[in-house]
Structure 1
Amino acid sequence: MTEHVRVVVIGGGVVGCSALYHLAALGIKDALLLERDELTSGSTWHAAGNLPTFSTSWSILKLQKYSAALYRRLAASADDPINYHLTGSVRLAHTQSRMDEFRHVKSMAKANGLEYEILSPSELRERHPLIETHDLLGALWDPLDGDIDPSQLTQALAREARLAGATIRRHTRVTSLTQKPDSSWVVATDKGEIHCEIVVNAAGYRAGEIMKMVGRHLPLAVMSHQYLVTEDCDELIARGSARLPLLRDPDTSYYLRQERNGFILGPYEWKATPMWQDGMPDDFANQLWNDDFDRLESYIEDAMARVPALGRAGIKRGVNGPIPYSPDGNPYIGPEPGLRNFFHCNNFSFGITQAGGAGKALAEWVVHGAPEWDLWSLDRRRFGDYASSAYTVAKAVEVYQNEYASSFPYEEREAGRPLRTSPTYATLKAKGARFGARGGWERAVYFDLKGELPQEEKLSFRRESIWHGVVAQEVQAVRERVAVLDLPGFTKYELKGPGAAAHLDYLTCSKLPSLGRVSLAYALTPAGKLWSEFTITRLAEDHFYIISAAIAATHDMDLLSGTLPTGSPITVRDISADLGTLIIAGPRAREVMAQITTTDLSNAGFPWLTAREIATVAGNCYAMRVNYVGELGWELHAPVAMMQTLYDAVWQAGEAHGIRDFGLYAMDSLRVDKCYRGWKSDLESGYTPLEASLDRFVDVKKASFVGRDALLAEHARGPKFRFVPMLFEQDGEAEAPYCAQVFHGDTNVGLTTSGVWSHTLHKSVALAYVRTDLAVPGTVLEVEVLGTLRRATVQAEPLYDPKNERLRA
Structure 2
Amino acid sequence: MKSQARVVIIGGGVAGTSALYHLAERGWTDCMLLEMDELTSGSTWHAAGNIPTFSSSRNMIKLQHYGTQLYSKLCDNPDYPINYHKTGSIRLAQTRQRMEEFQHVSAMANAMGLDYEILDDQAMKQRHPFLEGHDLLGALWDPHDGDIDPSQLTQAYASHARKAGATIHRFTKVTGISRTSSGEWSVQTDKGDVLAEYVINAGGYRGAEVSQLSEKFLPMVTMEHQYLITESIPELAAIDQRLPLVRDPDDSYYLRQEKSGLILGPYEMKATARWKDGKIPDKFAYELFANDLDRLEWYIEKACERMPILGSVGVQRVINGPIPYSPDGAPYIGPTFGLPNFFQMNGFSFGICQSGGAGKCIAEWIIDGKPEWDLWSLDPRRYTDYADQKYVVDRAIELYQHEYAINFPVEERPAGRPRKVSPSYDRLAAKGARFGARGGWERAVWFARKPNVGDESPSYQRGVWFEAVAEECLNVRDNVGLLDLGGFSKFEVQGEGTSAWLDTLIAGKLPTVGRVSLSYFCADNGGVWSEMTLTRLADEHYMLICGAAAKWHDYQWLDEHLPTDSAIELVDVSDDYGTLVVAGPRAREVLQPMTQTDMSHASFRWLSCQTIQLAGIEVRALRVNYVGELGWELHVKMENQLALYDALMEAGSAFDLQDFGMYAMESMRLEKSYRAWKVDLDHEYSPLRSGLDRFVDLNKPAFKGRDALLAEVSSDLPDIFVTLLLDAGEESSIIENTDALYGCPILVDADIVGYTTSGGYGHRISSSIALGYVKPEFALDGTQVEINVLGHLRKGRVVAESPYDPENKALRS
TM-score of the two chains, using structure 2 as the length reference: 0.98
Measured against aligned partners, the alpha-carbon deviations of 1:718-742 in whole angstroms (never above 9, x if no partner) come to 4322211111122433111101111
Q: 1:802 aligned to 799, 806, 809, which one? A: 806
Measured against aligned partners, the alpha-carbon deviations of 1:533-560 in whole angstroms (never above 9, x if no partner) come to 0000001111100000100000001111
Q: Give the corresponding residue for 1:199.
A: 199
Equivalent-residue separation in structure 1 for 2:512 and 2:690 (angstroms): 25
Tell me, yes or no, if structure 1 residue 503 matches structure 2 residue 501: yes
Equivalent-residue separation in structure 2 for 1:106 and 1:177 (angstroms): 45
The letter for the 2-side match of 1:266 is G
What is the number of residues matched between the two proteins?
A: 806
Q: Give the corresponding residue for 1:779.
A: 783
SS where residue 238 of structure 2 aligns?
Answer: helix
Measured against aligned partners, the alpha-carbon deviations of 1:217-273 in whole angstroms (never above 9, x if no partner) come to 00001000000111011221222x211110000011000011111110000000010
Tell me, yes or no, if structure 1 residue 5 matches structure 2 residue 5: yes
Tell me, yes or no, if structure 1 residue 16 matches structure 2 residue 16: yes
Equivalent-residue separation in structure 1 for 2:403 and 2:66 (angstroms): 22
Q: Give the corresponding residue for 1:727.
A: 725
Measured against aligned partners, the alpha-carbon deviations of 1:267-294 in whole angstroms (never above 9, x if no partner) come to 0000010001242101101110110111
1:78-93 matched pairs, under 5 angstroms: 78-93=78-93
The letter for the 1-side match of 2:747 is F
Equivalent-residue separation in structure 1 for 2:160 and 2:411 (angstroms): 43
Equivalent-residue separation in structure 1 for 2:112 and 2:528 (angstroms): 21
Equivalent-residue separation in structure 2 for 1:180 and 1:564 (angstroms): 20
Q: Give the corresponding residue for 2:657.
A: 659
Q: Give the corresponding residue for 1:259.
A: 258
Once the 2 structures are TM-superposed, how far is the Cα of residue 567 of structure 1 from its aligned partner?
A: 3.3
Equivalent-residue separation in structure 1 for 2:59 and 2:165 (angstroms): 30
Measured against aligned partners, the alpha-carbon deviations of 1:19-38 in whole angstroms (never above 9, x if no partner) come to 00101111111011111110
Contact 1:624–1:634 (8 Å) recurs in 2: yes
Once the 2 structures are TM-superposed, how far is the Cα of residue 79 of structure 1 from its aligned partner?
A: 2.3
Q: Give the corresponding residue for 1:512.
A: 510
Q: Give the corresponding residue for 2:484.
A: 486
1:213-224 matched pairs, under 5 angstroms: 213-224=213-224
Once the 2 structures are TM-superposed, how far is the Cα of residue 80 of structure 1 from its aligned partner?
A: 2.3
Greater CA deviation, 483-492 or 498-507?
498-507
Once the 2 structures are TM-superposed, how far is the Cα of residue 180 of structure 1 from its aligned partner?
A: 1.5
Q: Give the corresponding residue for 2:733.
A: none
Equivalent-residue separation in structure 1 for 2:200 and 2:704 (angstroms): 26
1:157-556 matched pairs, under 5 angstroms: 157-239=157-239, 241-278=240-277, 279-454=279-454, 456-463=455-462, 465-556=463-554
Once the 2 structures are TM-superposed, how far is the Cα of residue 636 of structure 1 from its aligned partner?
A: 0.4
Measured against aligned partners, the alpha-carbon deviations of 1:599-627 in whole angstroms (never above 9, x if no partner) come to 10011110000001001114111000000
Contact 1:2–1:195 (8 Å) recurs in 2: no
Once the 2 structures are TM-superposed, how far is the Cα of residue 73 of structure 1 from its aligned partner?
A: 1.1
Q: 1:683 aligned to 666, 681, 684, which one? A: 681
SS where residue 714 of structure 2 aligns?
Answer: helix
Equivalent-residue separation in structure 1 for 2:400 and 2:389 (angstroms): 16
Equivalent-residue separation in structure 1 for 2:193 and 2:485 (angstroms): 49
Tell me, yes or no, if structure 1 residue 746 matches structure 2 residue 750: yes
Are the structure 2 counterparts of residues 458 and 277 from structure 1 closer, same or farther at C-alpha, using a change threshold of 3 Å? closer
1:91-110 matched pairs, under 5 angstroms: 91-110=91-110
Equivalent-residue separation in structure 2 for 1:364 and 1:270 (angstroms): 38
Once the 2 structures are TM-superposed, how far is the Cα of residue 595 of structure 1 from its aligned partner?
A: 2.2
Listed as ranges, the gaps of 5+ residues in structure 1 are none
Equivalent-residue separation in structure 1 for 2:237 and 2:744 (angstroms): 43
RMSD between aligned alpha carbons?
1.1
Equivalent-residue separation in structure 2 for 1:713 and 1:535 (angstroms): 27
The letter for the 1-side match of 2:35 is E
Once the 2 structures are TM-superposed, how far is the Cα of residue 2 of structure 1 from its aligned partner?
A: 6.4
Measured against aligned partners, the alpha-carbon deviations of 1:614-655 in whole angstroms (never above 9, x if no partner) come to 011141110000000000001100011111111111111111
Once the 2 structures are TM-superposed, how far is the Cα of residue 702 of structure 1 from its aligned partner?
A: 1.1
Q: 2:620 aligned to 614, 619, 622, which one? A: 622
Equivalent-residue separation in structure 2 for 1:794 and 1:558 (angstroms): 38
Equivalent-residue separation in structure 1 for 2:432 and 2:122 (angstroms): 48
Q: Give the corresponding residue for 1:130.
A: 130
Equivalent-residue separation in structure 2 for 1:618 and 1:782 (angstroms): 54
Greater CA deviation, 712-721 or 350-359?
712-721
The letter for the 2-side match of 1:735 is D
Q: Give the corresponding residue for 1:61.
A: 61
Are the structure 2 counterparts of residues 618 and 395 from structure 1 closer, same or farther at C-alpha, using a change threshold of 3 Å? farther
Once the 2 structures are TM-superposed, how far is the Cα of residue 75 of structure 1 from its aligned partner?
A: 1.4
Equivalent-residue separation in structure 1 for 2:44 and 2:229 (angstroms): 17
Measured against aligned partners, the alpha-carbon deviations of 1:429-464 in whole angstroms (never above 9, x if no partner) come to 00110101111111000001122313x41321123x
Equivalent-residue separation in structure 1 for 2:705 and 2:314 (angstroms): 61
Contact 1:338–1:562 (8 Å) recurs in 2: no
Tell me, yes or no, if structure 1 residue 581 matches structure 2 residue 579: yes
Q: Give the corresponding residue for 1:716.
A: 714
Contact 1:618–1:645 (8 Å) recurs in 2: no
The letter for the 1-side match of 2:267 is Y
Contact 1:205–1:323 (8 Å) recurs in 2: yes
Q: Give the corresponding residue for 1:706.
A: 704
Equivalent-residue separation in structure 1 for 2:727 and 2:481 (angstroms): 31
Equivalent-residue separation in structure 1 for 2:229 and 2:259 (angstroms): 10
Contact 1:331–1:378 (8 Å) recurs in 2: yes
Once the 2 structures are TM-superposed, how far is the Cα of residue 797 of structure 1 from its aligned partner?
A: 0.7
The letter for the 1-side match of 2:670 is V
Contact 1:618–1:646 (8 Å) recurs in 2: no
SS where residue 359 of structure 1 aligns?
Answer: helix
Measured against aligned partners, the alpha-carbon deviations of 1:357-400 in whole angstroms (never above 9, x if no partner) come to 00000000000000000100000010001000000000010110
Equivalent-residue separation in structure 2 for 1:566 and 1:695 (angstroms): 31
Q: Give the corresponding residue for 1:638.
A: 636
Percent identical across equivalent pairs?
55
Q: 1:671 aligned to 659, 669, 672, which one? A: 669
Equivalent-residue separation in structure 1 for 2:202 and 2:110 (angstroms): 32
Measured against aligned partners, the alpha-carbon deviations of 1:664-709 in whole angstroms (never above 9, x if no partner) come to 1111111111101111111111211000000000010111111111
Listed as ranges, the gaps of 5+ residues in structure 2 are 730-735
Tell me, yes or no, if structure 1 residue 788 matches structure 2 residue 792: yes
Equivalent-residue separation in structure 1 for 2:243 and 2:342 (angstroms): 43
SS where residue 518 of structure 2 aligns?
Answer: strand
Measured against aligned partners, the alpha-carbon deviations of 1:79-121 in whole angstroms (never above 9, x if no partner) come to 2200111111000000110001001100111122201000012
Equivalent-residue separation in structure 2 for 1:510 and 1:587 (angstroms): 30
Equivalent-residue separation in structure 1 for 2:480 and 2:327 (angstroms): 37
Equivalent-residue separation in structure 1 for 2:644 and 2:763 (angstroms): 29
SS where residue 341 of structure 1 aligns?
Answer: strand
